[in-house]
Amino acid sequence: MRAKTIDRIATGVIVAVAVLIMAVLASLIGYLLFRGLPHISWHFLTSFPQAIKAGGGIGPQLFNSIFLLVLTMIITIPLGLGAGIYMSEYAKRGPITNFIRLVVEVLSSFPSIVVGLFGLLVIVNTFNLGYSLLSGALALTVFNLPMMVRLTEQSLRSVPQEQKEAGLALGMSRWKTITSVMLPVALPSIVTGTVLAAGRVFGEAAALLFTAGMSSPRLDFTDWNPLHPTSPLNPMRPAETLAVHIWKINSEGLAPDAGEIAAGASAVLVITILLFNLGARWFGRVLYRKLTASK
């Protein structure tokens, strides 16, 4: 009886803590949406911001955030997958491999402000890339790459050893076994890691203050030539993202409706992250079904 009582008490405590965490999270999201949704409109989402006048929007900042996300993931995903596959299947056990894993763990716990200062000193100044989308994407790659490497390695290691041995027994090469047998099984976990990394890109501000900059040129959305300075697709231009814009409005905004703009931008940021997470999970499930059906 005593063991059952202790088990019930422990179960009740765990459930209560989980409910409390979910309630706090739901309250935070609900508060942001309650404050921000009334200020969201098509004009707000597409118009340019105003420095001292009311009625500004977040069009360039929203585009910059999406463009920076795409640019960062184009760099992060191939490097993270390749390094994770190497660490899981090709790297020999020993002190060097253990040291590399230790470095990856240390990098994953770095504060974003440290990554931003590293990006300022190395990427912006040493490599002379300036305040640009590319500098921000490279800094965020340093920020997210350890997570991608670690999650890819752990996902591949969680694949049952029997499936790997069955592929090798059928005469498949090691690479064919990885791509045709192991990756489809590990794909849900890898997609989850990619979603987490992408969410950090959307919500990151500190690292981008020192790399992507706190301003954006007057973009010409009719010019899609990536070589023009005012083109939205130019990766070498400075770019203020949505998270940086929220911080800037709250700290030094001069517009009469700065509070409403910050609330609306925060709601847009939350909704965008939620939609992206749901869409990425749906895409991961569809891709997993296709890969398993084609085997």
Instruction: Catalogue all structural domains in the chain, each as residue range(s) with its CATH number.
Output: 40-293 (1.10.3720.10)
Residues 6+ apart with CB under 8 A from 114: none
Q: Is the pLDDT of residue 295 over 60?
A: no
CB count within 10 Å of CB 213 equals: 22
| Whole-structure pTM value | 0.84
Q: Is the pLDDT of residue 197 over 90?
A: no
User: What is the Cα–Cα distance from 7 to 17, expressed in whole angstroms?
Assistant: 15
Q: Is the four-CA dihedral 63, 68, 74, 77 of positive or negative sign?
A: negative
What does the pLDDT read at residue 19?
Answer: 93
| DSSP symbol at 230 | T
How large a percentage of the chain has pLDDT more than 90?
A: 11
Residue 215 pLDDT level (bands cut at 50, 70, 90) = confident
Residue 1 pLDDT level (bands cut at 50, 70, 90) = low
Structure confidence by residue, pLDDT tens digits, 110-164 = 788 888 888 999 999 999 888 999 999 999 988 888 888 888 888 888 888 887 7
Q: Which residue has the higher pLDDT, 255 or 42?
A: 42
Residues 6+ apart with CB under 8 A from 39: 260, 261, 263, 264, 267
Please list the alpha-helical segments (H only) found in 37-132: 42-46, 59-85, 95-108, 112-118
Amino acid found at 239: A
Greatest mean pLDDT among 94-103, 104-113, 188-197, 231-240 lies in 231-240
